[in-house]
A and B are shown apart, each in its own frame.
Chain A
Amino acid sequence: MKPIKEVTSVLAPLDRSNVDTDQIIPKQFLKRIERTGFGKYLFYHWRYDDNGVERADFELNKPEYAGSEILIARENFGCGSSREHAPWALGDYGFRVIIAINFADIFYNNSFKNGLLPIQLSEAEVEDLLKKSKEKPLKITVSLETETIVTEDGDTYSFKIDPYRREVLLNGWDDIALTLLLEDKISAYEKR
């Protein structure tokens, strides 16, 4: 897994609650047997109309947010299906950080396994960042090492990530390789 330490990018605002994984990556695109190539289908029915033409009014289609690596939304981001295709699609599209008031559990877990950093901020902080990023494109820097977000205007927000998850992400460790170091314990459990 690619480690993640610091990301600087324009913040892309997706001013919605309950963004479910069916919207993040619709089911017709779940049939691939690879982990890659899902980015072009991200938010497919929000991004494109029935003729495959980009919807000009959808947030991410606006030119000022092109190439953004940080997305911000409201509460319960990633609810619904367990499909890991959701973080795969977000990552493949180019996002490395998602900021929200809170996340659905399975999506939250899946993100860490794929080098995608989910950050929880308070409702007031999310409101504040949404507002600022809609006024003018706002460049921010997210540092996992210091657990802070600093905007280009110098505003600072802090966040917390579970220390173990943080360490795994900072180092880009392979979960399975770490677990296999405990193989004797697993075998001992099986003999009980």
Chain B
Amino acid sequence: MSKTIIEKIWEKHVVHREEGKPDLLYIDLHLVHEVTSPQAFEGLRLNGRKVRRPDLTFATMDHNVPTRLNEAVTDPISEKQMTTLEKNCAEFGVPLAGMGHPDQGIVHVIGPELGLTQPGKTIVCGDSHTSTHGAFGALAFGIGTSEVEHVLSTQTLWQAKPKTMQVQVNGELGQGVTSKDLILAIIAKYGINVGTGHIFEYTGEAIRKLTMEQRMTVCNMSIEAGAKAGLISPDETTFAYLEGRPHVPTGDEFEQLKVEWRELATDPDASYDAVIEIDASEIEPVVTWGTNPGMGVGVNGLVPRPEDAKTDAERAEIEKALEYMGLEGGTKMTDIEVQYVFIGSCTNSRIEDLRAASEIVAGKKVNSGVNAIVVPGSHSVKKQAESEGLDKIFLDAGFEWRESGCSMCLAMNADQVPAGMRCASTSNRNFEGRQGNGSRTHLVSPAMAAAAAIAGRFVDVRTFKQEEALV
């Protein structure tokens, strides 16, 4: 029988199946960070349990680490969370890339970078953006802390099989339109809970043409459409990215793995529980205007008017969002001014993202009314960017160049957008208060964020010229 990649991976990982119960699934890789793990380790300790497979577990610190060099952790509770992770990893034998470690970085950036993320694996982490790893054809999803404890102790999880949904991307993305715009457009078109109870598989020529880092951006935001996970069948692009990475086998073993990985791809005549489609050629750079990731429009569009809503509930939601965002319906997106720009997060902080932003920035200056920061996704991305001179381009333009971490995406550390201020952000969530209490977030691609930093307002990166900048 024909199967999707989702069914193939699922079936391979069933440890125990019993009528009337969810399946017990084996977990191949468990990524751990400082915010959602302390209570799980404490649970193990209280019950006298151990970590079953420290060799399949990998920890890092990202959510509340400072991103200024040698900056002390000013918040004693944050510091306690970090020292707690160090203590827990030492006690339970879990490998840790902590602060200052060459492998440190955002958990969803370093997993792929180190080659821990591989096709066909089941991957979990106490973080909803674990869907990122689906870009490799892995079944990867976020879990809560009780499940973190369950995986630490048993290396398994009880999981009811979700439904499958094909996200078919027809046509090609236009020049200057990125994979970030693609995923924002999908969520704007279908809503933030279209994926609830489902796992996405992204298909189509436009997806095949994406690089691995671009695919990661798409899969990363699957959760913002409500999907449990989102993945892409592996291909030669996937294998080329993985070859030579530290945790990827070499030589004959790698060749053998490639044979197995090719077989994972969805069979040509396999079917899904649901299908949604989008035409990539119609997408323009997207900017969000509201307080969830589905509230986005093309940069040349307008902020929606409440009176145009189709239902009372929708109208109320638009009104509430506009009030929080301090916007009026009918405003041109390109008339919205920004005071902050954040380039970073597990969505868009990889080397290709930084290259794309630096190309826009090169030789220009950050607008006088704008605070702009670049936070590379990992220590290794930072080093790579510096070897290419990107740090200098950003610094010369007036950006700050920071150490790696989650930073202003969720503002758990000192990197926050003040109340009432507006931020063009390459991150993934524009919820109320996400980047700081009262902060107003507009989600965009790295190139669009870079252009907004120079212009002081949103501009169409495809046609932007210096004369369009605010003076």
Contact = CB atoms under 8 A, between A and B. Distances in A.
Interface of A: 17-18, 20, 22-23, 26-28, 30-35, 45, 50, 74-76, 79-84, 87, 102-106, 109-110, 113-114, 162-164, 175-176, 179-180, 182-183, 185-186, 189-190
B193 A179 contact: no
A23 B80 CA distance: 24
Interface string B429-448: 10111100110000000000
B251 interface: no
Contacts of B143: 82, 106, 109
A106 B226 contact: no
List the 4 shortest-distance A-B pairs measured between CB atoms, nearest first. Answer: A113-B146, A110-B144, A84-B144, A33-B38
Given A33-B42, A106-B128, A185-B16, A176 B150 contact: yes
Contact of A79 (B47, B155, B226, B433): B226
B38 A27 contact: no
B432 A189 contact: no
Interface of B: 15-16, 20-22, 24, 26, 35-36, 38-39, 42, 47, 49, 52, 63-64, 75, 77-78, 80-81, 84, 126-128, 130, 142-147, 149-150, 153-156, 158, 160, 162, 192-193, 196-197, 226, 228, 292, 313, 317, 410-412, 419, 429, 431-434, 437-438
Nearest to A36: B39
Contact of A104 (B38, B154, B160, B193): B193
Contacts, number: 155
A113 B144 contact: yes
A113 B196 CA distance: 19
A20 B320 CA distance: 14
A22 B434 contact: yes
A81 B433 contact: no
Nearest to B79: A31
B369 to A, nearest CB: 24
Contact of B150 (A35, A83, A114, A175): A175
Of B24, B128, B317, chain A has the most CB atoms within 10 Å of the CB of B128
A22 B429 contact: yes
A80 B293 CA distance: 10
Contacts of A45: 432-433, 437
A37 to B, nearest CB: 12
A82 B149 contact: no
Contacts of A105: 162, 196-197, 226, 228
Given A105-B228, A180-B154, A84 B145 contact: yes
B193 A163 contact: no
A23 B432 CA distance: 7
Given A27-B412, A34-B39, A109-B147, A79 B192 contact: yes
Given A23-B431, A79-B192, A179 B42 contact: no
A189 to B, nearest CB: 5
A33 B192 contact: no
A86 to B, nearest CB: 9
Contacts of B81: 31, 33
A114 B77 CA distance: 24
B16 A22 contact: no
Given A17-B317, A179-B158, A31 B432 contact: no
B402 to A, nearest CB: 19
A82 B433 contact: no
B108 to A, nearest CB: 12
